[in-house]
Structure formats: structure tokens, C-alpha cells
Amino acid sequence: MKEKLLSLYHQHKLLSFCALGIVVLIPAGLIIKGRTAQTTYLTATVTKGPITATVQATGTINPLTTVPVGSFVSGTVQFIFADFNTRVHAGQVLAQLDPTLYNAQVITAQGNLDNAKANLNNLLATVDVMKADVQKYQADLAYQQASADRINQLYQQGVFSKDQYQLQQSTLGQAQATLTAGEAQVQQTLAQVQQARAQVESMQGQLEQAETNLKYTTILSPLDGTVVARNIDVGQSVAASLQAPNVFTIAQDLTRMQVYASTDESDTGNIHVGTDCTFQVDAFPNEQFHGRISAVRLNAYTVQNVVTYNTIIDFANPDERLLPSETAYVTIPTGHADNAIRIPNAALTYTPSLGSSQLQLLYKQYNIPAAATSTHLGGWQVVWKYGPQQTPIPVAVRVGITDYINTQCLEGNLQENDILITAEMSSAQRASAAPGLGIQRPGGGGAARPGR
């Protein structure tokens, strides 16, 4: 829809440029027939006054911030507590999904956590027992080592036999082996304790996840605002798989809004942040609303081979009369001049129906520079005065801003009330068109005049 409106806008802009130059001027014509007149000139008068250049654009009204509210879990909608246009506050309940499944998951996760904690406690108690046994084994080893040393000394003195000596050495070895095995069991059980602790942490995480999922069955508003869209109904299944489905859309503040105006790349050079502008909407066709440009966004897009930028216009909407997505018809001033010499636009498009050599002779006679006749560099163009001898006289002018009806004259031999030719008619054309041109426009203005 936006692309269609933009296309219509461009057509309207072109047609309005042509139409305003003709519709305003032609009814002002007054045919004055000369005895030998072959050509009749339509004319318009140079005026002096203010002129404002504008850019016309269409756009849509949008809230400053629009937040989609999603559901992080799947389930069936059990209750809905907010509808379209409902004003909500941050943390307010918008909807409730059926929590039965998620309650069961919480209970299961809690049971798994309790079991993991019990297993950890049992292992810790086992470690304590094993450590006590190791202390006994260490004491027994110390006793057997002392006995072995004493028997070895007496064996060297011949008090004990070799069999008694070897028996004590065997007992000492058994005590050492028992201690080593006990210490190994302690280390093995400590490793199991670490695994049990990790299991407890894992079960704790699963419980927290289950509790979070249960909490997500209650859909809350993330901010203060107004519900502008509701995409669910009671009994509807919500499936949250790869991404959270959008169940509500909330506009943060409808008392401050923006217009996203589509502007041509050819106009962006004259559009500046901070410029005050006006717009109208279809809902209130006789009212004009005011805003200020806050940005020209750089993410251009192309519509019908025309590069377009979004110009953002901030405006106040205290009574909330203007609604999101309404079409806005924007007028952006790009230049203004007071007491400007104003050339009717139709005069800038007129060239006498003379041969090329005749035109060049006239340009040379009146010192018209090439920049005005061909290249138009620096804004130079040619207009044609209605001369005292009923002949067109070329005048080089450097033009400035335009309001699509008149164009500012920056340089050139033009003064207020000078008469410029805007079109011409042959005798045959005059005969067929004269009845419609014989009325002078109220308030004066241009006329249709004879030429030689």
C-alpha cells in the first residue's frame, strides 16, 4: 500500500507542477486580436512576495516504541486479562497458560534434587567412616612397625628365631596393605562425592528451569502502555519452538508519536533534522498537524526504481486523536524567501516556436549566455518577456527555490509587474480555444496577447 501511495505521490507531484502553471494562467487569458496577428501569446505577470519551497511526502503514523510480547513456553491459553486498547502497566498479567504440565515438572525436579542431596549426604557420611578407619589403620601400622623394629633387633641378638622375624615382617606388610587400601577407598569415595555434588547442582538447575517455565505460563506486560494487538484467544494452543510467538503488541506511549515519511533521494539533500513541518490525515481532512524532523534514516529502500529514505517526524498527540498506522500527507519546508521576485513556473517552460537559427540570433542579440540556453549550470534559464513590439524578448535569469506555482528569481533583468509569455497559440488554435479564454481573471493577472 505504501508503494502505491508513493507512486501516486510522484505522479501527483509531476502533474501538479504542470497543471498549476497552466490552470492558474490560462483562465487569466484575454485574446486581443491584431489585424495581422498570426500568433497569440498567453502571459503572466512577475510578482513580488514570499515564496516557500516544500517537499511533499506520504507516510504512516507510528508509536515511538512498539514492543511485541511473546510466550517463552508452549501451552493452552487458559485466561486472557487484556484486550485491544487496554491500558496496562509493567508487570501486569496479560494472559495465563495452563500450568498443569509445568507444575508437574517442578515437582519432579524437586524430587530429583532431594534424591541427589540424599545421595551426597550418604557419601559424605561414608567418607567420614572411611577416614576413621584409615586413622585406625595408620595406628596399627605404627604399632606393627615398632614391633618389627624390636623383633629385628632381638633377632640380630639371637633372641628370636628366623620364623618369628619373618612372621612379624608379614604382619607389618599386611598392615601397610590395609592402610593403602583404606586410603584408596577414601579417594574413590571423595570422587563419588564430587560427582554427587555436580548432580545436586544439575538437579538444582533443572528445578530452577522448571520453576522459570512455570513462571512463564503467566504472561506479563514488560512496560506501561496500550495494547494495540492481541493475537490469542482462550483455548488456543501456543507453540514456542524456535522463537517466542507474538501474543500481544504494546505501544509504549500514544501521546508522543512519529510519522515515517517516505522521501525521494533527490529531496534528502534539502531535508534537515530540526525542521518544523506539517501533515494532514484522512480522519481530519480540514486540520493541520505539526511536527519536527528528528532523523533521516540511512537504511534506504527502493520502490519502482526510486531510492527512498524514511524521514522521521516527531509530534505530540496529547488527546490521542491520531492512531497508529494512519496515512499522513506531509509537507516539509526546504527553503523560504521574503520579498522574492516570483516567476510563474509556466514561463520557465516556454520557448517560442522559432527555428534554431532564429533563436540563436535572439540569444546573441540580447547577450544570453550558453549556461541559460543549454546547460542550465548554476540555475540559469531563459524566460521571454512580452515586448513592446508584440514580440518575445529573451531574458537570462538565475532561479532559486520554487513552490511549484512560482519560482524565485535570484539574478536577471526582471522586475515586479513585468509580463512574461507562458504559451502561444496559432490562428487555428486561437479560433477553437478563444471562447474559453475571453474572461479576465478577477484581480488581474496574465492575458492572451497578439503577436506579430
- Counting residues of the chain whose pLDDT is more than 90, the rounded percentage is 67
Dihedral sign for Cα atoms in the order 115, 116, 117, 118: positive
39 belongs to a structural domain: yes
Q: Residue 418 and residue 422: Cα distance in Å, rounded?
A: 13
User: Nine-digit cell at 90?
Assistant: 509493567
Instruction: Considering only residues 437 and 165, tell me which one the structure prediction assigns the higher pLDDT.
Output: 165
CA 380 to chain centre: 40
**Domain-located, residue 27:** yes
d(CA 186, CA 136): 14
SS3 452: coil
Say whether both 145 and 47 belong to one domain.
Answer: no
- For residue 332, tell me if it sits in a domain: no
Per-residue pLDDT at 297 exceeds 60: yes
Mean pLDDT of 142-165: 82
Residues present in the chain in total: 452
Asked whether residue 109 falls in the same domain as residue 81, the answer is no
Write the CB contacts of 261 (distance below 8 Å, at least 6 apart in sequence).
57, 58, 59, 279, 310, 311, 312, 313, 328, 330, 332
Least confident of 157-166, 184-193, 423-432: 423-432
Alpha carbon 246 to its chain centroid, in Å, reads 18
What is residue 216's three-state secondary structure?
Answer: helix
Write the CATH number for 149.
1.20.58
Within this chain, do residues 84 and 224 fall inside the same structural domain, yes or no?
yes
How far is Cα 235 from Cα 225, in angstroms, rounded to an integer? 26
In a domain, 273, yes or no: no
Q: Per-residue pLDDT tens for 169-224?
A: 898 889 899 989 989 998 999 999 999 999 999 999 999 999 999 999 999 999 99
- CA dist 423 and 437 (Å) reads 13
State the pLDDT confidence band at 4, using cuts at 50, 70 and 90: very low
Secondary-structure breakdown of the chain: helix, strand, coil percentages, each rounded to the nearest 5? 40, 35, 25
Please report where in the chains the cell 498506522 appears, as a residue.
Answer: 325
Which has more pLDDT, 7 or 27?
7
For residue 439, name the pLDDT band (cuts at 50, 70, 90).
very low
Which of these three, 194, 216, 238, is where a domain ends? 216
Question: Domain boundary at 192, 216, 240, which?
Answer: 216
Q: What pLDDT, on a 0 to 100 scale, did the predictor assign at position 121?
A: 95
**In a domain? residue 298:** no
Give the C-alpha separation, 23 to 211, whole Å.
74
Do 394 and 411 reside in the same domain of the chain?
Answer: yes
Decide if pLDDT at 115 tops 60: yes
Do 111 and 210 belong to one domain? yes
C-beta separation of 270 from 334 below 8 A: yes
Which one is predicted more confidently, 450 or 6? Answer: 450
Domain count, the chain: 3
Query: Is 279 part of any domain?
Result: no
132 three-state secondary structure: helix
CA distance 346 to 406: 8
pLDDT tens-place string over residues 355-386 = 899 999 999 999 988 888 877 788 899 999 99
- Report how far residue 200's alpha carbon sits from residue 204's, in angstroms, rounded to the nearest whole number: 6
pLDDT at 21: 38
CATH number at residue 359: 2.40.420.20
Same domain, 105 and 136: yes
120 and 32 fall within a common domain:
no
Residue 415 belongs to some domain of the structure: yes
Q: What is the CATH number of the domain that holds 230?
A: 2.40.50.100
Q: What is the pLDDT of residue 181?
A: 92
Residues 196 and 212 both lie in one domain? yes
**Integer Cα distance of 433 and 75 in angstroms:** 76
Are 2 and 326 in contact by the 8 Å Cβ rule? The answer is no
Cell output for 227: 495494547
Domain end among 250, 273, 304: 250
The pLDDT score that the predictor gives to residue 10 is 43
Q: What percent of the chain has pLDDT over 70?
A: 85
94 and 221 part of one domain: yes
Read off the C-alpha cell for 212.
522459570
* Residue 177 resides in a domain: yes
pLDDT of residue 40: 87
Residue 27 CB-density burial (10 A; 0-12 exposed, 13-18 middle, 19+ buried): middle
Do 72 and 238 contact (CB within 8 A), yes or no? no
**What is residue 7's predicted lDDT score, i.e. its pLDDT?**
46
Domain extent for 445 = 20-51+339-451
pLDDT at 68: 95
Report pLDDT for 431: 63
| Mean of pLDDT values over 44-60 | 96
Give yes or no: residues 43 and 112 share one domain.
no
Are 70 and 111 contained in the same domain?
Answer: no
CA nearest 196: which of 127, 118, 129, 111?
Answer: 118
Q: Are residues 201 and 174 in the same domain?
A: yes
Which of 349 and 31 is assigned the larger pLDDT? 349
Look up the pTM and report it. Answer: 0.67
Phi then psi dihedrals of residue 156, to 5 deg: -65, -30
